[in-house]
Structure 1
Amino acid sequence: MKNYLAVFTGTAAGRTDWDKLDADTRKQREQQGMAAWGKWMQDHAADIVDTGGPLGKTKRTSKSGIEETSNNIAGYVKVQAESQQDAAKMFENHPHFSIFPGDAVEVMECLPIPTKA
């Protein structure tokens, strides 16, 4: 089995649409979403390597120094699967974008650190 990092992405437009929902509708969707997310975690418990979680604001460090920045990454989870396709299939109809205002889940293989031969 290989390990895969899944990052949950979202857009400003999705967040704006979410914020337009009335408070009762948003609360109902939050409760529905958290229940569905919990079920997803339970259904895939054997394949979850790191439960991950939501991510906060971003700082960027480069040759120019440290600065505030933003990106579309909202959270992550690390899973194991036989292939990248199998890992990606775990996220079909995920509550991140089927209930919450998330945009997508991007799945990439975690490669080993190269060592000297």
Structure 2
Amino acid sequence: MPRFLAVYTMKPEDLARFRSMPKSEQDAVDAVGLPLWAEWEKKNAASFPDRGGMVGRTTRVTKDGIASATNPFCGYIVVEADTIEAAARLFENHPHFTVFPGDGVDIMPFLTEPPQS
């Protein structure tokens, strides 16, 4: 079955705004969003050969060396679906952007096969 990389995105300014909220308000968002996210993952578990995870600060390596960098990526998950449209439909109304301050999920097909074990 085709595999897709789904990358959760969040604008740095939206993350900063969320982190600047009082802890009680952040906790209230988590209390709503985390159970919804867990329910979504459980409901769609058969489509996720790699549950991925959330990621932190970025370090970029280029021909000029190693440096801190900024990008909108805040997490990922690997999805198996018949088509990219089917993969995308899994994320409709996802808590990442309906409850949390995420702005979207970018979905890309893998062009190479996963390693065979």
Which residue of structure 2 aligns with residue 92 of structure 1?
92
The Cα shift of 1:21 comes to 3.7
Q: Which amino acid in 1 is paired with 2:41?
A: M
Per-residue Cα deviation, 1:67-111 (whole angstroms, up to 9, x for no partner):
111111000000100000000110011111110110100000011
Paired residue for 1:27?
27
| Structure 1: distance between partners of 2:22 and 2:58 | 29
Equivalent position of 2:14 in the other structure: 14
Structure 1 segment 1-117 matched on structure 2, within 5 A: 1-112=1-112
1:93 counterpart SS class:
coil
Q: Which moved more, 1:95-104 or 1:24-33?
A: 24-33
Instruction: Count matched residues.
Output: 113
Could you say what the CA RMSD is over the residues aligned between the two structures, in angstroms? 1.3
Select between 81-90 and 15-24 the one with higher mean Cα deviation.
15-24
**Which blocks of at least 5 consecutive residues in structure 2 are unaligned?**
none
Point out the structure with max Rg over C-alpha: 1
Q: TM-score, normalised by structure 2?
A: 0.89
Unpaired stretches in structure 1, ≥5 consecutive residues:
none
Flag as ranges the 4+ runs of structure 1 deviating above 6 A.
none
Calculate the TM-score normalised by the size of structure 1: 0.89
